[in-house]
């Protein structure tokens, strides 16, 4: 399995959750960013499934979403403030800039459209790994 920077950076919410949960450094809660990501993941994954996606890949994707977003959100619970939302928006902008730079997508609309026809780099790495071992 070839783990690239894309695979690692596409899981920025998971990394943020780990840093927050284990109090590695003082950062705001990623809870609200996780909720927004779940809404986006639901829309995107059903769109991919509708556009001739494989059911097996869809199930793998939601297994990853459970591990990287749903379970961490459950562990940390709802925060008392929304500071994490602003921090999350900043991280998301950094992620978008990184994605545009590395993938070569110059048009944000094109990037969003592309994400609704195939899974992101992190999920694609896991799907390819599962296909390789099965």
One digit per residue, the tens of pLDDT, for the chain of length 134 reads 455 555 556 678 888 999 999 999 999 999 999 999 899 889 888 888 888 778 998 999 999 899 989 999 999 999 999 899 999 899 888 877 876 776 666 565 665 666 556 777 677 788 888 888 88
For position 29, what pLDDT does the model report? 95
Q: Which residue has the tokens 């590695």?
A: 24
Task: Give the three-class secondary structure for 116.
Answer: coil
pLDDT value of position 128: 86
Tell me, what's the pLDDT at 112? 62
Q: Report domain extents, the chain.
A: 5-133
> Which single residue is written with the structure tokens 């990394």?
15
The angle at the Cα of 106, spanning 33 to 87, to the nearest 5 degrees, equals 20
Query: What is the pLDDT at residue 5?
Result: 57
CA–CA distance, 24 with 9 (Å, rounded to integer):
18
30 DSSP assignment: -
The single-letter DSSP state of residue 81 is S
| pLDDT reported for residue 7 | 58
pLDDT of residue 109: 62
């Amino acid at each position: 399995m070839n783990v690239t920077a894309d695979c690692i950076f596409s899981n920025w919410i998971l990394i943020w959750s780990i840093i927050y949960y284990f109090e590695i450094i003082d950062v705001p809660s990623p809870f609200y960013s996780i909720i927004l990501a779940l809404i986006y993941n639901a829309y995107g994954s059903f769109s991919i499934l509708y556009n001739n996606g494989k059911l097996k890949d869809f199930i793998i994707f939601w297994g990853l979403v459970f591990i990287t977003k749903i379970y961490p959100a459950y562990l940390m619970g709802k925060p008392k403030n929304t500071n994490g939302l602003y921090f999350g928006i900043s991280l998301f902008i950094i992620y978008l800039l990184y994605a545009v730079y590395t993938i070569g997508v110059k048009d944000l609309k094109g990037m969003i459209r592309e994400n609704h026809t195939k899974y992101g780099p992190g999920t694609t790495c896991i799907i390819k790994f599962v296909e390789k071992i099965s």
